[in-house]
Amino acid sequence: MHTDLVAALDIGGTKIAGALVDGHGRILVRAQRPTPARDDGDTVMRAVQEVLAELTASPLWGCATAVGIGSAGPVDASAGTVSPVNVPGWRDFPLVARVRAAAGNLPVELIGDGVAITAAEHWQGAARGHDNALCMVVSTGVGGGLVLGGRLHPGPTGNAGHIGHISVDLDGDLCPCGSHGCVERIASGPNIARRALENGWRPGPDGDTSAAAVAAAARSGDPVAVASFERAAQALAAGIAATATLVEIDIAVIGGGVGKAGDVLFEPLRKALSTYATLSFVRHLTVAPAQMGTDAGLVGAAAAALAKRTDPAAAGV
Ligand SMILES: [Zn+2]
């Protein structure tokens, strides 16, 4: 008997994943569709409805008491709308109302994908047991979320902790967001690869110019590849140190493809942190790789739904 099931949706630019998740974070039923990201908004919504239809067809659906959504952002949780950068057909799209209608009027909780991953890491991953944490996803973009005082802190619109667009280089390169010198503009996978190529790094015979290829080159000692990761680490460290100084986090968890680079990222990151996180109350700050895998978005969306259900007054987990 499952008395505490929730439905979870993880909506990104390439796939829409759904699941029924129990109170221990176990995924009992799954459904998935590719995101028709270049189509109109209703076509994208139909893919969400197909995922939900598979979940509602499960005999376990009757035990589901809420729906949690983690979506590519920006999201506006206060309005119940989403405007994912990679899904142009959705601008101020009323996702919460549409999901509620397709899910038998269950309560629906919406958070950004960075916040969802933070909820998952706090519940089951590297931030478990930490009351104040910053969790980051460093991949094509850089996102994140905050746990403060033992609870997820999504903020009014569900985007709080979006560290990728904190400026760490005042006169730095223009970022697609409109600002300059953002963490993402320096530390994302494509920017690590771009900087390495600009400075003379060349890919191997396979022609792979991804950040993962730059990481492999850095591991074998290529100085340009090493330097590109050091620069990314420096930007991440400055953003993490600023966050720690503002709200007193004691751990920063780093996931995403770049987070998998291992020591070529984490060694210079720890070194740079000692440069930027200098005050007594941030000096103990640790960094750790993320532990949750590809289900982090689903598990985090479920965590947000469970928290909302058990404490309707709460803003999050
Ligand atoms: Zn930016």
User: How much distance in Å is there from the Cα of 240 to the middle of ligand 1?
Assistant: 16
Residue 221 DSSP SS3: coil
Dist CA 158 CA 83 (whole Å) = 12
pLDDT at residue 316, rounded to an integer: 42
Residue 316 in domain: no
Q: Which tokens sit at 61? A: 């659906």
Can you list the alpha helix ranges (DSSP code H) found in the chain? 41-56, 95-102, 113-124, 183-187, 189-198, 211-219, 223-247, 256-259, 263-276, 296-310
Residue 122 in domain: no
Inter-residue contact 264 to 218 (CB < 8 Å): yes
- Let me know whether 273 and 301 are in one domain: no
User: How much distance in Å is there from the Cα of 239 to the middle of ligand 1?
Assistant: 12
- Let me know whether 46 and 169 are in one domain: no
Residue 123 in domain: no
pLDDT at residue 315, rounded to an integer: 42
Residue 40 DSSP SS3: coil
The neighbourhood of ligand 1, an ion, using CB within 5 A, equals 165, 175, 177, 179, 182
* Sign of the CA dihedral with 257 first, then 258, 263, and 264 last: positive
pTM, to two decimals = 0.92
User: How much distance in Å is there from the Cα of 173 to the middle of ligand 1?
Assistant: 10
CA torsion, points 277, 280, 281, 287, in degrees to nearest 10?
Answer: 40
- Let me know whether 183 and 106 are in one domain: no
Residue 315 in domain: no
- Let me know whether 202 and 280 are in one domain: yes
**Burial class of residue 140 (count of CB atoms within 10 Å of its CB; 0-12, 13-18, 19+):** middle
- Let me know whether 180 and 217 are in one domain: yes
- Let me know whether 105 and 187 are in one domain: no
pLDDT at residue 93, rounded to an integer: 98
The candidate with the shortest Cα–Cα distance to 226, out of 253, 200, 252, 255, is 200
pLDDT at residue 313, rounded to an integer: 52
CB pairs under 8 A, 24+ apart, for 168-171? 168/235, 168/238, 168/239, 168/242, 169/235
Q: Which tokens sit at 158? A: 């569900």
- Let me know whether 26 and 102 are in one domain: yes
Residue 121 in domain: no
Tokens 């004691």 locate to: 250
Residue 317 in domain: no
Amino acid at the residue 301: A
User: How much distance in Å is there from the Cα of 42 to the middle of ligand 1?
Assistant: 29
User: How much distance in Å is there from the Cα of 83 to the middle of ligand 1?
Assistant: 16
Tokens 């949750």 locate to: 292
Residue 187 in domain: yes
pLDDT at residue 86, rounded to an integer: 87
Dist CA 74 CA 52 (whole Å) = 22
- CATH code of the domain covering residue 40: 3.30.420.40
Dist CA 274 CA 174 (whole Å) = 27
Provide the b/e sequence for 30-43 (b: ≥16 CB within 10 Å): bbebebebeeebee
Dmax (CA) for the chain in angstroms is: 60
User: How much distance in Å is there from the Cα of 312 to the middle of ligand 1?
Assistant: 33
Share of residues in the chain with pLDDT > 70 (%): 97
Q: Which domain holds residue 238?
A: 129-289
- Let me know whether 103 and 213 are in one domain: no
Q: How many domains does the chain have?
A: 2
pLDDT at residue 2, rounded to an integer: 59
Residue 79 in domain: yes
- Let me know whether 40 and 176 are in one domain: no
- Let me know whether 30 and 87 are in one domain: yes
Query: In order along the chain (317 residues), what is the average pLDDT of each group of 10 residues?
Result: 85 95 96 96 98 97 96 95 94 98 95 96 97 95 96 93 96 94 97 98 96 97 98 98 96 95 97 95 94 94 88 48
Query: Parallel, antiparallel, or unpaired: how do β-strands 64-71 and 108-112 relate?
Result: parallel
Dist CA 16 CA 41 (whole Å) = 14
**How many angstroms separate the Cα of 3 from the Cα of each of 32, 108, 296?**
24, 18, 22
Inter-residue contact 117 to 313 (CB < 8 Å): no
- Let me know whether 275 and 262 are in one domain: yes
- Let me know whether 52 and 37 are in one domain: yes
pLDDT at residue 307, rounded to an integer: 87
Q: Which tokens sit at 178? A: 């409109």
